[in-house]
Structure 1
Amino acid sequence: MVLKAELHCHIEGAASPRLVEKKAAKYGADVSSFIQDGRFVWHDFTSFLNAYDQAAMLFRTEDDYADLAEDYLLSLGRQDAIYSEVFISTDHAFSAGINPRAYIEGLAEGMRRAKAATGIEGRMIATGLRHKGPEAVMAAARYIVENPHPLVTGFGMAGDERMHKPMDFAAAFDVARNAGLGITIHAGELSGWESVAGTLDALNPSRIGHGVRAIENPELVKRLADEQILLECCPGSNIALGVFADFSSHPFAGLANAGVPVTLNSDDPPYFHTDLAREYEIATSYFGYDDAMLKQVTETAIKAAFVDEETRTSLLARLCQDKTVRVADELFAGSAPSS
């Protein structure tokens, strides 16, 4: 067992088929077109988005979102995770017919329940949607800044990275950064290395969501290493969406070996038939990572997390204590008398 931390997961995309079916029964919806035998089914990016959107629209109240956050963070706790950051979208709240404040409060309540049950810490990263344009991203940033919540500690941008130029969003990210929010932006997933470079130049994030296409440009890889820009890598998602052909061609290990800070994350886990534990297993099976290296990945995530320093120190202490306890247990086992 290795303690884990996750920085990149879309909360609506984390809803398990079981929970979606429960909400479908509540609202009288038919989900048989995209849930079969307890699994989400889709065959291309368009059908993936259709399944995602139909499932997400079944979360309509504050209580629904409390259930979602609690269910997901409890599942992470069962995978030995001690920290979780999830992406949220006030745009989605509006489209689902729920007040953004109720949306956030519901998610926060679910996080509190999961923490009480397992000790897992949770935070939210509000996002603007790139394909909705600069004005929509600015509106999302302003809402979060004008309606702060202690568990909303970051601001980011998701959506189609092929649309608009990074500089178009500079004002929105200035608003978020000036309010003390951590900054992370999706780039270098479906678009190439230029997307990452342009994002760094225009928006100055401390983290990049995905960013793996940076491997296409050695000078950019060196820049990421020199500036210690963290990449929120999601290998399972990348393979499922065809960003890379297979795990053996995935650049996670190459980026890490070049000195780029990298973490393991599940993105939209049930849609890609993965979870955080599997992402750590992928690193072992395909990237040659042992437990010590995986623990370093967790430490890297915690050091880059959008949390206050007291919480960060506490999380790092848990990680260190776990190592100390394991060493002590191994020594005790080794000294035990044989029967």
Structure 2
Amino acid sequence: MNSPVNVKQRTSLCALPKAEVHVHLEGTFEPAKLEQWAADAGVAMPRPRERLLEFKGLADFLHFLDWACGLANTADHVFEMAYAFCQRLAADGTGYADVIVNPTHWSAWQGRTKAMIDALDAGFTAAEQDGLPPASLCISLLRNQTADEAAELVDQLVEWRHPRVVALSIDGNEAAAGRTGPRFADAFRRAGAAGLRRTVHAGESSGPEGVRDAIELLGADRIDHGVRAIEDERVVALLAERGIPLGICPTSNLTVKVYPSMDTHPIERLRSAGVRVSVNTDDPGLLATDLPSEYELARSTFGWTDAIVRDVARTSIEASFANDDIRSQLKSQLSLWSSD
């Protein structure tokens, strides 16, 4: 049971005006919902419910995502996930989110990406109409796709110009796929030219070279993870010089064994070196975390003051792809925040 001090800390961090810029819709499934959908579809669970969210590593985690997304096979299911995502934002005190969706995980929607985006949009719109926080979509490539597949997705996004879609993303297992920056450079260039923002997973299962490729080859406006940039001071300097923010997810990094403990996590070293960092959940349903908990983990480990917490929250807002009105409103609210 939380002590009164912890309750007070959590309350203040829930009240902290903030955005979330690194969170996957695929990572917001709840075990009870998955068990229900699996039973309805007659699909076997990969593990008993009590161990459903125990993962052996990143590869096992990604396989699980494919299984879970395969259960979301109707527009109603997708609508429900979008609405529930905004409920999660409200519970965390989050004012806006860029949510990543990778169509390759959603087997029931192959060849129907536009229909899936429309179903998500309907869920987000209903949530906003009910007073819940807004969210935008970052549509993601999988790292082992081909250059032609990347080009096809970009062509579709440019043709559709869906107002809910704000960015092209790329995610997946860097270690397994190897260096992929050159393969996707043209797709990301064309996405940027068409007005889409660009966010890139890098520096998690790859080292700092992945972060450099994200900057120099993919034109990243924001980097998801990016923590292993710390292994090369030149990449750290490049991030600081160009002001490219990192969407860092501490619990996720610990869960997939990028770092053995929070004490060894580089978020504070990166921040102290002038890199713009934000705190995020990555896959909150599957990792049993939420955004206030992630802030508290960093604050308690590194002794972050209110001023530092406010600065990290400000980075999250400025790094988001929200419109100017949302960002201005959140920053105005943030200026009034105190943990007292």
What's the TM-score, normalizing by structure 1?
A: 0.89
- The structure that has the greater radius of gyration is 1
| Alignment partner of 1:190 is 2:205 | yes
d(CA) in 1 for partners of 2:83, 2:98: 13
Partner-residue secondary structure (3-state), 1:60: coil
For residues 287-326 of structure 1, the aligned pairs below 5 Å read 287-320=302-335, 322-323=336-337
Greater alpha carbon shift after TM alignment, 156-165 vs 69-78: 156-165
* Equivalences, count: 324
CA shift digits 1:226-281 (9 cap, x unpaired): 11010110111101011111100000001001110001111112322322222111
Q: What residue is the counterpart of 1:125 in the other structure?
A: 138
Q: What residue is the counterpart of 1:335 in the other structure?
A: none
Q: What residue is the counterpart of 1:5 in the other structure?
A: 19
Partner-residue secondary structure (3-state), 1:154: strand
Partner-residue secondary structure (3-state), 1:155: strand
Say if 1:119 and 1:95 are closer, same or farther in 2 by CA, change over 3 A: closer
Q: What residue is the counterpart of 1:244 in the other structure?
A: 259
Q: What residue is the counterpart of 1:47 in the other structure?
A: 60
Partner-residue secondary structure (3-state), 1:40: coil
d(CA) in 1 for partners of 2:276, 2:248: 10
Q: Give the CA deviation at 1:90.
A: 3.0
Greater alpha carbon shift after TM alignment, 246-255 vs 76-85: 76-85
| Alignment partner of 1:22 is 2:36 | yes
Q: Give the CA deviation at 1:172.
A: 0.3
d(CA) in 1 for partners of 2:334, 2:128: 17
d(CA) in 2 for partners of 1:34, 1:70: 27
Q: What residue is the counterpart of 1:233 in the other structure?
A: 248
Instruction: Decide whether the 8 Å contact of 2:22 with 2:247 is kept in 1.
Output: yes
Partner-residue secondary structure (3-state), 1:37: helix
CA shift digits 1:24-57 (9 cap, x unpaired): 23323332x3352385222333332232221111
Q: What residue is the counterpart of 2:94 in the other structure?
A: 81
Partner-residue secondary structure (3-state), 2:205: coil
| Alignment partner of 1:100 is 2:113 | yes
d(CA) in 2 for partners of 1:217, 1:108: 40
Q: In the alignment, residue 18 of structure 1 is paired with which amino acid? A: A
| Alignment partner of 1:174 is 2:174 | no
d(CA) in 2 for partners of 1:240, 1:60: 28
| Alignment partner of 1:253 is 2:264 | no
Partner-residue secondary structure (3-state), 1:81: coil
Q: Give the CA deviation at 1:127.
A: 0.9
Q: What residue is the counterpart of 2:221 in the other structure?
A: 206
Instruction: Decide whether the 8 Å contact of 1:61 with 1:98 is kept in 2.
Output: no
d(CA) in 1 for partners of 2:110, 2:320: 31
Say if 1:223 and 1:152 are closer, same or farther in 2 by CA, change over 3 A: same
Structure 1 unmatched ranges of 5 or more = 331-339
Q: In the alignment, residue 236 of structure 1 is paired with which amino acid? A: T
d(CA) in 2 for partners of 1:286, 1:63: 41
d(CA) in 1 for partners of 2:201, 2:149: 16
Q: Give the CA deviation at 1:128.
A: 1.0
Instruction: Decide whether the 8 Å contact of 1:6 with 1:264 is kept in 2.
Output: yes
What's the TM-score, normalizing by structure 2?
A: 0.89
Structure 2 unmatched ranges of 5 or more = 1-11
d(CA) in 2 for partners of 1:288, 1:111: 36
Partner-residue secondary structure (3-state), 1:245: coil
Partner-residue secondary structure (3-state), 2:23: coil
CA shift digits 1:208-241 (9 cap, x unpaired): 1111000001121111111101011011110101
CA shift digits 1:144-201 (9 cap, x unpaired): 1111211110111112324343122111012210111111111110111111112212
Partner-residue secondary structure (3-state), 1:307: coil
Instruction: Decide whether the 8 Å contact of 2:69 with 2:106 is kept in 1.
Output: no
